[in-house]
Amino acid sequence: MGAIAGAIIAVISHLRYAGVVLLMAIESACIPLPSEVVLPFSGFLVYQGKLNLWLVALAGGVGCVIGSWVAYGVGAWGGRPFVERYGKYLLVSRRDLDLADRWFRRHGEITIFVGRLLPVVRTFIAFPAGVSRMSLWRFTLYTFLGSVIYSWFLAWIGMHLGEHWDTLGGYFHRFDTVIGLVIIAFAAWYVWRHIRNLQRE
């Protein structure tokens, strides 16, 4: 983690806004790069007068959209055929795909928008949206809006923490743990539901 944080700091120090775009794109392409380092450090540079808060937020939003397009594309053009062919081995049925499709058609906007505000979830939300073929322009719009808010907030905190910007990571790891436990609980319920349905059949 220390080596990753050092690399992030080096990239942003040299590339400034382009570095924020690059790193946030990587995070949004389902690669868990810690945005709780990227954005607070950018906020620290705002505190030093080297960057502008709103431009950092805009760069974060643009980067998230670019990375999310990659994950969305993988889900749309590769993920669905893969799930349809091998999903039964992962306890994912065609009925589950249909349910996900209906969910993203009805609630895709709020799902993407809120997902972009949550640690862990924000990294992976684009892939299932792609699998469900959510409207690309709506996906892009709500990804950008949620990501700009998230980027602005973390950079703003980093700006106000100043020299102590790196203390924010510890608080976010607590959220990571809680969200991780919720995901594990959901996965356990999901497996149990499928086993129960198989036993009934």
DSSP string, 141-158: HHHHHHHHHHHHHHHHHH
Q: What is the pTM of this model?
A: 0.74
Confidence of residue 134 (pLDDT cuts 50, 70, 90): confident
- Residue 89 scores a pLDDT above 60: no
Task: Work out how many domains the chain is built from and give that number.
Answer: 1
Q: Report the b/e string of 74-93 with b at 16+ CB within 10 A.
A: bbbeebbeebeeeeeeeebe
Q: Find the range with the poorest average confidence among 12-16, 83-87, 150-154, 155-159.
A: 83-87
- Residue 152 scores a pLDDT above 70: yes
**Cα separation, 167 vs 152, whole angstroms:** 18
Q: Could you give phi then psi for residue 134, rounded to 5 degrees?
A: -60, 150
| Closest of 195, 151, 157 to residue 44, by C-alpha | 157
Q: Could you tell me the residue range of the domain that residue 39 belongs to?
A: 2-200
Look at residue 175 in the predicted model and tell me its pLDDT: 55
Mean pLDDT of 16-21: 94
**Residue 124, token pair as written in the block:** 């992976």
Choice between 186 and 9, residue whose per-residue pLDDT is larger:
9
Q: How far lies 141's CA from each of 25, 27, 152, in Å?
A: 16, 18, 17
* CB atoms near residue 7 (< 10 Å): 13
